[in-house]
């Protein structure tokens, strides 16, 4: 490994002083966002509060975050207990995501109708439905919100600027589905927090670290100064931080190059340093300075390479050959493994620093227990991510970090939507 490569890799290291700096900057942006001032953190009020754990009944959730979506029925038994669930998966085709609002929501309504026919018995009984809609939405209440813009390749006409709940309600009525009340709207991060907090009262942070990344937490209503008709009260409301846009971060030359080449330069800076959409590209930029790789270096490769303990790093060699290298040497393979490790470790430490900032905002002295519910493919499948997050939290809090519990909340967004519907239904 040349000296130049070593220096380049050192720029990805974040010492404790860097973690402390990130925490302070993140908290500053949180404060400005809550006041409605210019901030890289939107701090969006969701009009949703955490469940008590005593909610009971059958509820339906529509979990729409991409071209594949799910509809599920969830039984809440109270006392934090969740009964059996019924799930059906559906796929949106290109004609649905590039057509009109009528075609898009009409297809979704057809799927809801099919689900009810397949899984429901008492069809005359009205049921509350929670709608997880993982696209940028300006929320007006727990059951209304207008689409700001489409992402993920969706280009449905007639939706931007309109209330997505009303569009869904209209489509359901048009299809003859009259026994479902769309009572709550949420994104996947909020759903993750709510799903875990139903059975764990210590859960007060929900995080997504997957293709994209985001987080949410419950804030005292009196602190949400920008809330219309700002109320002075003792209640709480979950805030959708939209932390992927956090930009008070030190960037390497590789981060700058990746950002300039992206579809949204200057935006979603934290996301470009943490999420699965960008981690592979970032590692690939570093590797291309030394190795003759030509093909795409995917984020999914990184965990495989980091965990490669085979003789002569055979798995790493196979992946490098996929990227166009004909005969990678041992030094090349070791360098590749080191790059993957250091890039993913930085991603985990940045995520942990932002989690630490949220905890300090809620509980400065870490005087109580906190559960952080995390969902997403990067966190779930990357073998070192949780270990690195825990290590960073120990840097930030010392021995008190043992009061923080990190849990995988797999598929929390769908369950969370059903529970939010239960909370909204009273």
Which residue intervals of 43-149 are DSSP H helices?
94-97, 101-119
Of 6, 16, 93, 152, which residue is the catalytic one? 152
Checking 328-332 for CB contacts under 8 A at 24+ apart, the result is 328/291, 331/1, 332/290, 332/291
Q: Is 399 exposed, middle or buried (0-12, 13-18, 19+ CB in 10 A)?
A: exposed
What DSSP line would sit under 288-308, residue for residue? HTTS---S---HHHHHHHHT-
**DSSP assigned state of 44:** E
Asked whether the beta carbons of 182 and 248 are under 8 A apart, the reply is: no
Of 188, 204, 255, 395, which residue is the catalytic one? 188
CA distance 329 to 313: 10
User: Which tokens belong to 408?
Assistant: 């995988």
Helix, strand, or coil here: 387? helix
- Respond yes or no: is residue 35 known to be catalytic: no
CA distance 244 to 224: 20
CA distance 238 to 259: 30
- Respond yes or no: is residue 188 known to be catalytic: yes
Query: Catalytic residues, which ones?
Result: 152, 188
């Amino acid at each position: 490994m040349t000296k130049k490569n070593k220096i380049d890799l050192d720029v990805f290291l974040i010492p404790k002083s860097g973690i402390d700096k990130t925490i302070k900057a993140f908290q500053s942006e949180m404060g400005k966002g809550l006041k409605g001032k210019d901030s890289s953190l939107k701090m969006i009020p969701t009009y949703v509060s955490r469940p008590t754990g005593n909610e009971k009944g059958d509820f339906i959730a529509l979990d729409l975050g991409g071209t594949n979506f799910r509809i599920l029925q969830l039984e809440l038994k109270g006392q934090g207990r969740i009964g059996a669930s019924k799930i059906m998966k559906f796929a949106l085709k290109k004609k649905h995501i590039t057509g009109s609002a009528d075609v898009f929501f009409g297809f979704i309504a057809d799927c809801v109708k099919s689900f009810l026919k397949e899984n429901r018995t008492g069809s005359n009984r009205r049921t509350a439905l929670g709608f997880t809609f993982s696209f940028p939405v300006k929320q007006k209440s727990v059951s209304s919100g207008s689409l700001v813009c489409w992402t993920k390749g969706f280009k449905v006409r007639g939706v931007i600027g309109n209330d997505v709940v009303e569009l869904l309600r209209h489509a359901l009525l048009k299809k003859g589905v009259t026994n479902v009340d769309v009572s709550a709207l949420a994104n996947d991060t909020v759903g993750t927090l709510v799903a875990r907090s139903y059975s764990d009262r210590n859960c007060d942070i929900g995080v997504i670290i997957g293709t994209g990344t985001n987080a949410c937490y419950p804030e005292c209503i009196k602190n949400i100064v920008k809330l219309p008709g700002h109320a002075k009260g003792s209640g709480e409301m979950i805030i959708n931080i939209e932390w992927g846009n956090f930009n008070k971060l030190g960037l390497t030359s590789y981060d700058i190059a990746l950002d300039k080449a992206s579809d949204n330069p200057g935006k979603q800076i934290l996301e470009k340093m943490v999420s699965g959409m960008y981690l592979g590209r970032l590692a690939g930029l570093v590797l291309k300075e030394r190795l003759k790789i030509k093909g795409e270096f995917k984020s999914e490769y990184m965990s495989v390479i980091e965990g490669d303990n085979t003789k002569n790093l055979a798995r790493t060699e196979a992946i490098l050959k996929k990227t166009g290298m004909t005969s990678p040497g041992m030094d090349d393979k070791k360098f590749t493994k080191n790059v993957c490790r250091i890039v993913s470790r930085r991603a985990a430490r940045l995520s942990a620093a932002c989690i630490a900032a949220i905890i300090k905002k809620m509980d400065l002295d870490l005087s109580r227990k906190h559960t952080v519910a995390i969902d997403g493919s990067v966190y779930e499948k990357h073998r070192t991510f949780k270990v690195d997050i825990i290590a960073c939290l120990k840097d930030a809090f010392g021995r008190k970090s043992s009061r923080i519990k990190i849990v995988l909340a797999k598929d929390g967004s769908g369950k969370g939507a059903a529970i939010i519907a239960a909370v909204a239904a009273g």
